[in-house]
Structure 1
Amino acid sequence: MNLLAKRGDNLNFPSLFSGFFDDDTWSKPLWNGWKSNVPAANVLETDDEYRIELAAPGMEKKDFHVNIENGALCISSEKELEINDEQDGYTRKEFSYNAFSRSFLLPDSVNDDKIKATYKDGVLALTLPKREEAKKLPKKEIKIA
């Protein structure tokens, strides 16, 4: 079984699952009290593919950048929002900037030419098909003569 690994400064993570679920880094407040905006990720492996889902509500398809670099699937997003409001002589100007970046090491079993991504209802979903030779073959019964 091949595993996706979370990429970071320390590449000694045995799998995405142990690195992601055993570490609560993503939910701890940062030094200034703001919560991290790195989206939660679900990873599913079937016999034919891997599926990664990132919860990223309030974004648009154009806000995401997905690419493969040095054997890693890199997902990033930037969104800037500016509000200008002028009423009764008062001016209010607010802006927010949200950005994140996630990387996953790709196992050799992934056919990176056929990776697909969709964004619907606040979820970025990526389908990573496995190469034919990496797919699990069905059990074959051998008769004893």
Structure 2
Amino acid sequence: MDPFKQMGEWRKNLDNFFGDNFWNEFDGIIKPTIPQVNMYHTENEMMCIVNVPGLNDLDQLNIYIDYATLELRGTIDLEHVSGNVFKEEILQGVFEREISLPFPVRADKIKATYKNGLVFIQLHRLISETSRRNKVNVRLLEDA
């Protein structure tokens, strides 16, 4: 029997026993999420710092804000293929993350910049209740 098929059956059985979202609790342990994100907020502002190393084309990163949700889509590609892997801790590949924000944010006051492998996304609390999904443009910060 195929071991991966057997693992899928075990997973279905555990989901039936523990509930449909049993494995979601282990996602960060079994397979760490990329990109890594730090988020800080005050009463009216939020700063999201996203780790996206090796980004050469800002169009390869898509950031969307929808009311109180941050969506990140793109690829981390370190472009190093020679030699055998001895240790690999920097996660890479295609990513898609959706993160709930602690409060709704303004669509007209979003700023995103990229420097030294980090994306800085500055958001401001929304006072109104209107919602619209907005694509965020990222600009490259030049060294001072």
Question: What's the TM-score, normalizing by structure 2?
Answer: 0.51
Structure with the greater alpha carbon radius of gyration: 1
Aligned to 1:25: 27
CA contact (8 A) 1:37 1:99 kept: no
1:68 and 2:65 correspond: yes
Distance change (3 Å), C-alpha of 1:48 and 1:68 = closer
Distance change (3 Å), C-alpha of 1:103 and 1:66 = same
- Give CA-to-partner distance per residue, 1:3-26, whole Å, 9 cap, x none: xxxxxx97xxxxxxxx9xxx5623
**Could you tell me the percent identity over the aligned residues?**
28
- Give CA-to-partner distance per residue, 1:84-108, whole Å, 9 cap, x none: xxxxxxxxxxxxx821011123455
Q: Which runs of 5+ in 1 are unaligned?
A: 1-8, 11-18, 30-35, 84-96, 134-145
In proportion to residue count, which structure has more strand?
1
Aligned residues: 97
Between the aligned partners of 1:130 and 1:115, the Cα distance in structure 2 is 10
- Give CA-to-partner distance per residue, 1:18-56, whole Å, 9 cap, x none: x9xxx5623534xxxxxx561211010113301111111
Bigger mean CA offset, 47-56 vs 103-112: 103-112
Q: Which runs of 5+ in 2 are unaligned?
A: 1-19, 81-91, 129-144
Distance change (3 Å), C-alpha of 1:24 and 1:117 = farther
Q: CA RMSD in A?
A: 3.5
